[in-house]
Amino acid sequence: MLKSSFGKQKLIPIPGSGRGPLDKTVPNEPGLKCPSCSRRVMEMELKEHKLCPHCGHHFPLNARERLEIIADSGSFQEFEVGLRSINTLEFPGYDEKMTQAINETGLSEAIITGKATVGGYPCVLGIMDPGFMMGSMGSVVGEKVCRAMERAIELKIALIIFTASGGARMQEGMLSLLQMAKTTAVLGRFHQEGLLYISIITNPTTGGVSASFASLADIILAEPGALIGFAGPRVIKQTISETLPAGFQKAEFMLGHGMLDCIVERGQLKKTLELFLRLHGGEKNG
């Protein structure tokens, strides 16, 4: 599993805010310190989109919070509820880590998938949770992504996946790495059907997820400032022994190098998705 800048931050839940992981760098002071502008922000100022009121920094959202701001209210029908990984390789401490992640997030794995409508347009939605073992992809994350794609093929509707991942889940070894090939193969079938797939890359998306389904969409969007890469900047710097360019692997850098179609601020995401679904022939429910 790759270490991203996300992994280096101390992430603790803010009292009364659900369990959304937010960084709080100064202990015993109210609110949070914004990592972009360094100003203090009170929790209530972040509102539902969790944006810094001073500079617009995008604080992390967990999967349920993301669902809330994207899917039409009450439209989400979750697939594969409760499906979770088992410790096939008997990796020491994995069971305990899984139990802890389940208890802390209320999820059974690092992605939720289901059918929903966005602005009235039906789609299959997948949302990764950066707080569940760093959004790492093990066999169940890969399986849920594949089943979501298959459901979209069956229903002949668009697929939208929000990615957030530290990479492959090291506790599942080769079974984790296999998910890159598996999701890519099923996605190949999805593309043959001529259906629309939109991926929205959020901070951070690295490792196996960035090198598979995050980067293989018809339309690839990202949130401002998101770290996107295979190996993290620290590893690359050490390997090539060279200074990396400013903003290396940030969404803005990736857009400038042709790896993204567009950077969309969180407040505009739902409207943007609605527009793409409409332009690609989506028919509203009812």
In angstroms, rounded to a whole number, what is the distance separating the alpha carbons of residues 221 and 192?
22
> 240 Cβ partners below 8 Å, 6+ apart?
none
| Residue found by looking up tokens 């400032």 in the block | 225
Identify which of 227, 232, 266, 247 has the alpha carbon closest to the alpha carbon of residue 57: 266
3 vs 54, beta carbon nearer Zn ion = 54
Closest separation in Å from C-beta 35 to Zn ion:
8
40 vs 234, beta carbon nearer Zn ion = 40
Q: Which residues bind Zn ion (CB under 5 A)?
A: 34, 36-37, 52, 54-55, 57
20 vs 207, beta carbon nearer Zn ion = 20
In angstroms, rounded to a whole number, what is the distance separating the alpha carbons of residues 17 and 191?
39
Q: 215: which DSSP letter? A: G
Closest separation in Å from C-beta 136 to Zn ion:
28
Closest separation in Å from C-beta 42 to Zn ion:
12
Q: E strands of 90-242, at which residues?
A: 111-118, 121-128, 158-165, 197-206, 219-222, 228-229
52 vs 124, beta carbon nearer Zn ion = 52
9 vs 87, beta carbon nearer Zn ion = 9
Closest separation in Å from C-beta 34 to Zn ion:
3
Structure-token pair, residue 110? 């690092």
Q: Judging by DSSP bridges, how do beta strands 197-206 and 228-229 pair with one another? A: parallel
36 vs 87, beta carbon nearer Zn ion = 36
Closest separation in Å from C-beta 36 to Zn ion:
5
Helix, strand or coil for residue 112? strand
Closest separation in Å from C-beta 247 to Zn ion:
17
In angstroms, rounded to a whole number, what is the distance separating the alpha carbons of residues 155 and 83?
22
